[in-house]
Structure 1
Amino acid sequence: MKAITLNLQLPDKIEISDIELSEISSNEVLVRVKAAALNHRDEWCRQGLYPNLKNGVVLGSDGAGIITEVSAEVDPSWIGKEVIINPAMNWGVDQRVQSKDFKILGMPDNGILAEYVKVPADRVHLKPSHLNWAESAALPLGGLTAYRAVCVQGQINEGDKILVTGFGGGVAQFAVQFALANGAEVYVSSSRTEKIEKAKELGVQNGFDYTDENWPDKALEETAGFDLIIDSAMGDTLDNLIKVIKPGGRIVFYGATKGNPKGFQARKVFWNQIQLIGSTMGSDLDFERMLELVKEKKIVPVIDRVFELEDTVQAFDRMKEGLQTGKIVVQIEK
């Protein structure tokens, strides 16, 4: 079968490979992949910035397709079902935090950028009927991460004023959609006007250019502060987030692309009872509840662009450039 594999010896660092499809094991299913979506971790693997990298591993964590085979322990009625795949493996029994065995499909184990993928049977869920293949493939990793940040760690309430930073990427767009679905008043930040305008089309009140050093003052003048902030950058941007969060507010961060903050306003944090909350992907229960919300509210992922399998390098390049608004999808089967 054809698959997109890591090869750090090549100029593009990835290649289309013909690899052997091994037999499924106990409690596994085989999925014929219709579409797969990229995440930043895929590009980080390509750049050699992810731990435990191995050449020859199939990349990709997000995908949707049709079950073609099941092991003897799995209900055969699953054959022919249209499914999406939960790429979070081995969360564990504690809903508060993942186990030490937690891992994500796509590195160090084979992922979903392939014509077929075999996964444990408990990783597949019926595809939401209102979504097409590209939209379904776009949902799992970003949707799960955003749901946990907004609904579980963020404990969003109807009427909350919420800021989602860095709108344009997959997790941020889902965070916006989930916040809106929960009745929040939503704002975003971005360095690109077109991304802010896209957010407004989704129902966002307004957006702020985070390259403008006066954006916190403008945000405070317009909103009087936020109840909840969802962020993936951290670094020195944390100071500005502390400025615009209300006393008693919550700052949830699921990444630190700008590294650790050099300065930290500890006094303002403790005096104003501000909560700084870390978040990652989510548990199996989080995934199920995320799917319920998507189905109930008929939420549709924002798709930036769909590439053919043979154009996967261009898809990765677009991810690297950071120009996307929404998810980048690779169509595996036409």
Structure 2
Amino acid sequence: MKALILTKSEGPGSVELQDIDRPTPGPGEVRVALRAASLNYRELWISRGQYPGMKLPSGLGADGAGVIDAVGAGVDSAQVGREVVLYPGQGWGDNPKYPGKNFALYGMPLPGTLAEYICVPVENALDKPASLSFEEAACLPTAGLTAWRALRVKANLAAGESVLITGIGGGVAVAACVFAVAMGGKVFVTSSVEEKIRRAEQLGAAGGVVYKQDKWGKALGKLAGGIDVVVDGAPASSLSQYVRCLNMGARVVIYGSTGGVDAQFSTPDLFLRHATLLGTAMGTPSDFRDMIAFVAQHRLRPVIDQRFPLARARDALLALESSHDMGKIVVSMS
């Protein structure tokens, strides 16, 4: 089978599409003939060697959707033919608050989804929402799960609350916008350009501000009047701007560190507002099931930025690095 393999950590241009053996499902596993996968910035970090416990060669890709075509021992053969979307990791553990030390994702150290086939535990393969294409479903696992857990589990967003999503355009931010609107939130966004704010408004956002302007936090305060929940992937450059826009009891959920790891802000702006600062990454299998059910119930559609065939998976990674715009970059196997 064809699979995208990283053999040396010299950046996204160093990946290779190779012929490797098609995997055989073990006990409790199913084999999925993948139809689509989506990319995350995680693949770029891995390609540069910026990931703990790097072992090469390695397949890439954590997100995927496809059709079960074989089962291992102990798995009902009726599973064959199911259209599924994959929970992107294994070994979260028993504590829903955070993953255990054995938690691992597909595409390093586990086999990757940028391939024609993958074997996963049967419980990792959830029914694909019938309203979604394989490409749309493949957009959900990593970015969608992170956004879902930020909003539903960490922030416990309630209908009618105001939500700020920083840096609209990336996979998590766009998923958070779609989810927050469906949950009844009043969504505001930040972006480097007005065009992305307008596109967020098409997804249901109430408006936004360009973060390249000086003191954009004041503009946000005038626009929103106050923020109850923040989903932030770039706190180093944004937290000090919006902290004074927070309402009493606000929840700030940080999921990334784009633009730097050091965030400076006035601590009284948090504690005098009784605000909570939270961190999150990925989510539990239960979170994933809840998210997929929510997507199916509300017939939500992920936003796809660009599409590539598997034969051009390297180009897809290069596009993620240089020309990514709004939503997810998808690789199709068919």
TM-score (norm 1): 0.96
Shift of 1:262: 5.0
In structure 2, C-alpha distance between the alignment counterparts of 1:217 and 1:149, rounded to whole Å: 25
Shift of 1:274: 1.3
| Higher alpha-carbon deviation: 10-19 or 322-331 | 10-19
Secondary structure, aligned partner of 1:32: strand
In structure 2, C-alpha distance between the alignment counterparts of 1:86 and 1:320, rounded to whole Å: 25
- Structure 1 partner of 2:212: 211
- Structure 2 partner of 1:159: 160
TM-score (norm 2): 0.96
| Higher alpha-carbon deviation: 7-16 or 102-111 | 7-16
Does the Cα contact within 8 Å between 1:61 and 1:106 map onto a contact in 2? yes
- Structure 2 partner of 1:75: 76
Does the Cα contact within 8 Å between 2:23 and 2:118 map onto a contact in 1? no
Q: Per-residue displacement from partner, 1:199-235 (whole Å, max 9, x unpaired)?
A: 1111111111111122111111121110011001121
- Structure 2 partner of 1:180: 181
- Structure 1 partner of 2:129: 128
Q: Per-residue displacement from partner, 1:22-56 (whole Å, max 9, x unpaired)?
A: 32211111010111100110111112212222222
- Structure 1 partner of 2:7: 7
Shift of 1:312: 1.3
- Structure 1 partner of 2:31: 30
Percent identity at matched positions?
37
What is the one-letter code of the residue matched to 2:226?
A: G
In structure 2, C-alpha distance between the alignment counterparts of 1:140 and 1:22, rounded to whole Å: 22
- 1:278 and 2:279 equivalent? yes
- Structure 1 partner of 2:267: 266
Q: 1:229 to 1:9 in 2, by over 3 A?
A: closer
Secondary structure, aligned partner of 1:306: strand
In structure 2, C-alpha distance between the alignment counterparts of 1:264 and 1:254, rounded to whole Å: 18
| Higher alpha-carbon deviation: 98-107 or 289-298 | 98-107
Does the Cα contact within 8 Å between 1:88 and 1:282 map onto a contact in 2? no
- 1:311 and 2:312 equivalent? yes
Unaligned runs of 5+ in 1: none
Does the Cα contact within 8 Å between 1:237 and 1:261 map onto a contact in 2? no
Unaligned runs of 5+ in 2: none
Shift of 1:10: 6.4
Q: Per-residue displacement from partner, 1:258-309 (whole Å, max 9, x unpaired)?
A: 3333533222221221110111111111111101110111000000011011
Shift of 1:245: 1.5
In structure 1, C-alpha distance between the alignment counterparts of 2:215 and 2:99, rounded to whole Å: 38
